[in-house]
Structure formats: C-alpha cells, structure tokens
Structure 1
Amino acid sequence: MSPLIGAAWLDVIERADQLVLNYVSKAADVAHGVLRADQRLDFSRRLRARIEAERGGSQNAREVAKVLARFGDPVALVEREARRLAQAEAAAAGADQSGVSAGDRRGAEAGQGTGSTMRFPAIVDDRDTPPGVRAYRRMAQERLARSPGRGMPFAGLRRAAMAGANPMTTGGRDARTIVKEHPRETAAMVILVVAALLVPFDLPLLAIFPIPLVVWAGGAVMVLFSESWDPRDRFLGAGAPLLGYTVGGVLVGGLRVGSEPGLNAFLTQFWAVSGIMFMIGTGFGVVWLAYRLLDLN
C-alpha cells in the first residue's frame, strides 16, 4: 500500500471513529449532573460497546452515521437510563420494606445493579421485533431516505447547510462537519472558485499558461485524487470548467457570430464568451461536488 493510499485510509477510519466519539461524548455531557459519576462512566462504556457491536467493524462514515441515527437523541438515552436506575432503586427500596434480607438484596443488585446493567437498553428498531422485520424495515427506511422529492424542495439541502444543524437529522452531515471532516476537499473547491474569479482580470501569463488555468489545474488535481467522491463525480466536478470553456464557448460563440462568416469572426466571439462560460462551468462543478459531499440523496 502506497503512503498516499495508506494516509487516505487512515483518514477514513478517523472520520468514522470521530463520529462515534462525538456521539458518546455528547451523551456523557448530557448525563453530567443527571447520573452519578460511576453511573455515567458505566453508561458511557455500555453505550460505546453497543455502538461498536451495531457498527460491526464498519469504517464507512456514512454507515456509522446511520447506526448512530438509529440510537436516536443522546438526551433521550440519558433520560431512559435515569428512569431505569430510578426504577431499580425503587424496586430495591420496596424489597427492603417487604422484609427481603440485605443479602438477597445485594444478590439482586449484583444481577440488576443500581449503578449498572449487563445489557444496554434496546434501540428504537430492535425491541421485540423479529430480525426479518427489522431488516426489511431498515431497507425501506434507506430507500425512503434516497427517494427524491421528500418534503419541501431543497429542504434537506437547506437543513444540511445550517452550520448549527443537528447531525442526527442529516445523517451526520452538516456544513460545519463537512468542513472539519473534509479539509482537503473543501480547499479544492475553494481553489476552483478562485480560478473562476481570476478570469475577468487581465493577468500576465505564467510561462505560456493563463494563471486561472494554472489555479484550476491545482484544484482539479486535488479533486481527482480525493477519495470522498466517486470517480464520476470527480471527473464531472473537475472537468465542468473546461467543458464550459470549450463546448459552451463554441456553442455560444457560434450563435453570436450570426451571419458574419469567417474563422476570425468566430474566434472573436469565442474569446469573448469562453471566459464567462468557464466561470459558469466552475459554478456548476463546485455546486455538484458540494452536493455530493453532503450526500443528501
């Protein structure tokens, strides 16, 4: 394995692990002041173990985000744990009042425990449900999440673009999370935008190449070597500026020539519109890359 591929693989693993760590840390923060220190530690340990079991060793950040979404809001988990502990303590107190010996009570606490349990409470889709039903339900939920036209137009895109959005409502994907998890991809898109913004300026050539073209080449290389997009998305996002420059310039330039014959007239119109078409193509390419990075479909 080359160092570049190895570094990219480690980065993918770190993203998935970071999602789990953030979720468990949030649950532990919510539990502060609600559970005792020993209860909070036991709760966090069991929650992490249950997540790892449901995760099944997956290093895919999107799959891990779906697992965390099935666990639900950490606040609800803490409230359920607090109710369970309160019920266990009430049951122990009732056993004392009914004349159960202290030794029997300690034996019950060893099995149930007022500070811990052997099993984490069931998550939302596995309580008293046959495995086959759970599998088909999960498939239906994923298919529904991928179906176009859910809710109001672009509601998911607006929700994910909110920097303060709840990651659980967007599958772990919001603007702030995207920037933190994908700094290289974000930098690549920024470089492509900078290349487009440099087009209107009459800058000197760098050797024989226009400076916007050189800047675009740097951003395109970063996009093509990214592991976060599919190959089709990489080529589409990086190639959209050149596609707009060539195909758009030829089409629009040819239409602007009109009845004026000759190659010189065509080239004049091509040079007049090709830069604008490069900027438009860059805009489409960057929007597509950003949308695919959010992965809202």
Structure 2
Amino acid sequence: MIERADQLVLNYVSKAADAAHGVLRADQRLDFAKRLRARIEAERGGSQNARDVAKVLARFGDPAALVEREVRRLAEAGVATKRDAADFGGVATSGVSRADGGPAQTPGTGSTLRFPSVVDDHDEPPGVRAYRRIAQERLEKQGQGRGLPFAGLRRAAMSSANPMATGGRDARTIVKEHPRETAAMVILIVAALLVPFRLPPLAIFQVPLVVWAAGGALVLFGESWSLRDKLLGIGAPLLGYSVGGVLVGGLRVGIEAGLQAFVTQFFDVSGTMFMIGTGLGVVWLAYRLLDVS
C-alpha cells in the first residue's frame, strides 16, 4: 500500500517533468520537479493511503498546466526559458532586461522557495471556495454510490485502471487494506461451494455449516461493516436455507402432498437456497466494504 501511494506521486512528478521537457532548461526543469515534489509531500502530510494521495494530486490539476504557470512565473521574473530560446531562433541570451528597466537577470536564477498555489488554496475569493467545496461534496457523494448506484463496485472492477481515475480504489487495494474482511467473504463462499459434496458431518454438524460459522465469526469481528451489514451478510444464508427452503419446497409439493413429501423437498432445495443466500450476502458485504471505503 505504501509503495502504491509513493508510485502515484512519482508518476505525477514524472508527467510534470515530461511536460517541462523542451519548455524549461535542464536546470529549471530539475528545480521545478524538486519544488513540485516538496509541495506534494507537504500537502500529503505523510499519508500512505493511495486514495488520499490521489485526491491531493487531483487538487494540483494537470501537470502540463503547472508547467505553463512555471513558465509565466519565470517570464514575470525576467528569466529566459528554453521556449524563449526557441522563439529567438535557438540563440539564448545571456541576460534579460526587466520590464521596469532594472538590471538584467541571468537565466536560471528564477528559483523560489515557494511553489505556485494549487487550485484550492486560500487566496481564492470566499465565494469561489464555498461553491467549490459544495461541488466537491456532491461529487464525493456520487462517488460513494449515493448519486450513482453501485459506483463502488464499478470502481473495484477497474483493477487495472489508472488509480488517479478511480480515486486510488480498485480491487487489489481493497484486498490489501481489508485482509480480515476479504478472508471472511472467501470463507463464506467456500461454505456455499461445499454444499453439493455431501461431506460426512463433524460430530453432529454439517461441514458447510461449520465453515459458515467460521466465516460468520470473522464477519462479526470485521471493523469495516456496521452491525446491520454484518447481520445481513451472515443471515442471508440462513434465511435462504430456512425461509427459502420452506417456500420453494412447499411450492414444489403442493398443499395436499403430506408432511413426508414436504420434508423431502425441503432438504432437496434447502442446500441450493443456502448457496443462493450466501452469494447474496457476500455481494452485499463486498458492496458495503467498497462503499464505506
């Protein structure tokens, strides 16, 4: 997870350096990349969460736009860039006169200790900041699935997507951040898959029931789900087995078939209904895990 967050920063700085190639001189490009990396680390605040880092980088905006701002800053300071040299037919001047008639400055001396402000810094008008915050909150709500149903599942399916486009969230990231919850869901799936094999019972308990109990215990100890989500996730298999078995078994035998026929049909379909209930419960747990993350 730490490597992934650091890789996001490295990729962003590399894009900015590539955009500066041919625009800034080598020394200016190196200084620009160093200051950009330092500003990102300051905004990042030591966070190793890929999603938080992706949000920080998103606030900086397009790397090419940052390069253009750096060019304008150097031009205002009277410092020549590689683009200026190209504009003069490839001949770089040894000094550039200032617009106010001041002494010329030697190229390469335009470094500053402070990187240009990012798009949401405090120097914006209060009204702009307020409306920007409202818009960002609405977008975050949509990304969490309130405005766009199952948006979390769609983001997780993009396991090979650019993490900048998915908010740093994909299937692999979720698995790394929530190993206990992932193991619980896997165990519940295994319990459902064991139903058709008719394994000998352990003492008086069927093997799928024992495996389901182990998975349910892990679900209860999970920290990423609410109590309601936990009960729905581990209760769905039991509801499928009992309620589903009764309903489907009753429909298959009819009213006048007798108790024995009903019991036979119940045990014939209850295993299948248990598997269906487990699948629904795991899907719900996975969705909620992605949504709250």
Measured against the shorter chain, the TM-score band is: 0.7 to 0.9
Give the structure 1 partner of residue 90 of structure 2: none
Report the 3-state secondary structure (helix = DSSP H, G, I; strand = E; otherwise coil) of the residue aligned with 1:278: helix
User: Which residue among 7, 26, 30 is the counterpart of 2:11?
Assistant: 26
How does the TM-score come out when normalised to structure 1? 0.73
Give the structure 2 partner of residue 84 of structure 1: 69
Deviations 1:128-174 (A, max 9, x none): 34233333333333444457674xx8677445302212233333222
Structural mapping, 1:246-261, within 5 Å: 246-261=242-257
Structural mapping, 1:188-267, within 5 Å: 188-267=184-263
Pick closer, same or farther for the CA change 1:155–1:133 going to 2, 3 Å. closer
Residue 175 of structure 1 and its aligned partner are, at CA, apart by 1.9
Letter in 2 for 1:81: L
Letter in 2 for 1:98: S
Letter in 2 for 1:101: P
- Alpha-carbon distance in structure 2 between the residues aligned to 1:59 and 1:86: 31
Contact kept? 1:50, 1:120, Cα under 8 Å: no
Residue 202 of structure 1 and its aligned partner are, at CA, apart by 1.5
Residue 279 of structure 1 and its aligned partner are, at CA, apart by 0.2
1:138 counterpart = 2:126: no
Give the structure 1 partner of residue 43 of structure 2: 50
- Alpha-carbon distance in structure 2 between the residues aligned to 1:252 and 1:59: 50
Pick closer, same or farther for the CA change 1:127–1:197 going to 2, 3 Å. farther
Contact kept? 2:8, 2:50, Cα under 8 Å: no
Q: CA RMSD in A?
A: 3.6
Which runs of 5 or more structure 2 residues have no equivalent in the other structure?
Answer: 21-27, 81-92
- Alpha-carbon distance in structure 1 between the residues aligned to 2:164 and 2:201: 48
- Alpha-carbon distance in structure 2 between the residues aligned to 1:167 and 1:120: 25
Residue 292 of structure 1 and its aligned partner are, at CA, apart by 1.7
Report the 3-state secondary structure (helix = DSSP H, G, I; strand = E; otherwise coil) of the residue aligned with 1:169: coil
Deviations 1:188-231 (A, max 9, x none): 21211111111000211112111111111111111221112222
From the two aligned structures, give the one with the greater helix fraction: 1
Return 256-265 or 198-207, whichever deviates more.
256-265
Contact kept? 2:141, 2:147, Cα under 8 Å: no
Return 247-256 or 83-92, whichever deviates more.
83-92
Contact kept? 2:159, 2:170, Cα under 8 Å: yes
Residue 180 of structure 1 and its aligned partner are, at CA, apart by 2.6
Pick closer, same or farther for the CA change 1:44–1:247 going to 2, 3 Å. same
Return 21-30 or 208-217, whichever deviates more.
21-30
- Alpha-carbon distance in structure 2 between the residues aligned to 1:127 and 1:140: 23
Residue 69 of structure 1 and its aligned partner are, at CA, apart by 7.0
- Alpha-carbon distance in structure 2 between the residues aligned to 1:19 and 1:129: 35
Report the 3-state secondary structure (helix = DSSP H, G, I; strand = E; otherwise coil) of the residue aligned with 1:170: coil
Structural mapping, 1:143-162, within 5 Å: 143-145=141-143, 150=148, 157-162=153-158
Report the 3-state secondary structure (helix = DSSP H, G, I; strand = E; otherwise coil) of the residue aligned with 2:79: helix
Which structure has the bigger radius of gyration? 2
Residue 125 of structure 1 and its aligned partner are, at CA, apart by 8.6
1:39 counterpart = 2:32: yes
Residue 233 of structure 1 and its aligned partner are, at CA, apart by 1.4
Give the structure 2 partner of residue 180 of structure 1: 176
Return 26-35 or 203-212, whichever deviates more.
26-35
Residue 280 of structure 1 and its aligned partner are, at CA, apart by 0.2
Report the 3-state secondary structure (helix = DSSP H, G, I; strand = E; otherwise coil) of the residue aligned with 2:197: coil
How does the TM-score come out when normalised to structure 2? 0.74
Contact kept? 2:157, 2:171, Cα under 8 Å: yes
Contact kept? 2:250, 2:262, Cα under 8 Å: yes
Letter in 1 for 2:97: S
Pick closer, same or farther for the CA change 1:128–1:29 going to 2, 3 Å. same
